Structure 1
Amino acid sequence: MDIKLASCCGNCDHHVKGQLCNVHEIVTAETQGCESYEFRAVLSRESDCLKCAKFQTNNCAHPNKASEGMMCTVFYPRIVA
């Protein structure tokens, strides 16, 4: 089974102000989804290399620079169970 981020309004770049879809021009819930989904890349201070699933792997885009406190646009959250 593949585990991936949910393709729903809460993670979509078209979902603005936490409730409005600017593609369909309707109010949506974060748990809804559609075919117009587009991943929203959001960086925060908590999204550094140590919390990235690509850190110290062959998939890391910046292996020579990746370190604690570093952030980049290809951050992929590490799933903690």
Structure 2
Amino acid sequence: MSIRMGNSCVNCDNLMGDDTCKVHAVKVSTSYTCDSFEMKAALKDDPNCVSCARYEGPSFSNSQNVAPGMLCSQWAPQNAQA
């Protein structure tokens, strides 16, 4: 059996903060899904120096003070997709 990301309202971009679907205007829960499902965009979940787009590049200013696993306020994901 394969493992997949759930196609539920919790992962849908159309879910509003009060658990209402902005397409259908109804209150939903984790067990709901529909044909208008739009996956939420997510950033890479491993933010550190090695996964940063600036790491060892021309805009990288702290080459003497970094190590894998460290994080700074300038982190930019290498592969962000929307």
Give the paired residue count: 60
TM-score normalised per structure 2 = 0.54
TM-align CA RMSD: 3.1
TM-score normalised per structure 1 = 0.54
Deviations 1:4-47 (A, max 9, x none): 10000000000111401001011111331111111002337xx1
Please list, as runs of the form range in 1=range in 2, the aligned pairs for 1:1-81 lying within 5 A after superposition.
1-43=1-43, 47-48=45-46, 68=69, 71=77, 72-74=79-81
Higher relative contact order (CA 8 A, sep 6+): 2
Instruction: Compare the two structures and name the one with the higher strand fraction.
Output: 1
Q: In 2, distance between residues paired with 1:6 and 1:48? A: 21
Deviations 1:20-76 (A, max 9, x none): 1001011111331111111002337xx1168xxxx9xxxxxx8xx8x75563324xx
Structure 2: 5+ residue runs without aligned partners? 57-67
Structure 1: 5+ residue runs without aligned partners? 56-61, 75-81
